[in-house]
Amino acid sequence: MLDALTVATAIAALLLAAWCGWAAYRDQPTKDWHFIGMAVVSVLALAQLAVGVVQLARGQKPDQGTTIFVAYLLGALACVPVAGFMSLAERTRWGSVTVAAGGVVLAVLQVRLYDIWGG
């Protein structure tokens, strides 16, 4: 797996979490800029899925199994967009908290992805 991309995605996810956490702290819902941020993070997760699939296609094998690896890649891709839609339905600070939680979950998924691929 591309380590640089994994690290970049994890950091971007944590930044997004901090940013939306700040919005929640100031009692604000998610705004357009937050959604742009979510889009950036989601694009990183999408790039990761693409890189992961290409590497599998080249015949490389993740340490802990292909099924789990692909499942985590899909989970990582879905994570932030789902939280984003939920924040659209909840136009209060709690929507921002939800997206912040989504960012943290994505960062954790990155650590797991790194382990699953095998360092």
Partner 1 sequence: MATAEDAGERTRRTRLIKGPGMLLVWLYGVMVVGAVSRSAVQISTEFAHAPLAYSLSAVAGLVYGFITYSLVRGGETARKAALVCCAAELLGVLVVGTWTLVEPSAFPDATVWSDYGMGYLFIPVLLPLSAMYWLRKGSR
Binding region for partner 1 (CB under 8 A): 65, 67-68, 71, 75, 82-83, 86-87, 89-90, 92, 94-95, 97-98, 101-102, 105, 108
Structure tokens at 92: 């209060």
Residue 95 is inside which H or E element, if any?
helix 93-117
CB of 101 to partner 1, least distance (A): 6
Pairwise CA distance, residues 101 & 95, whole Å: 10
Nearer to partner 1, 51 or 101 (CB): 101
DSSP string across 44-72: HHHHHHHHHHHHHHTT---TT-HHHHHHH
Cβ at position 83, least distance to partner 1 in Å: 6
Nearer residue to partner 1 within complex by CB, 9 or 69: 69
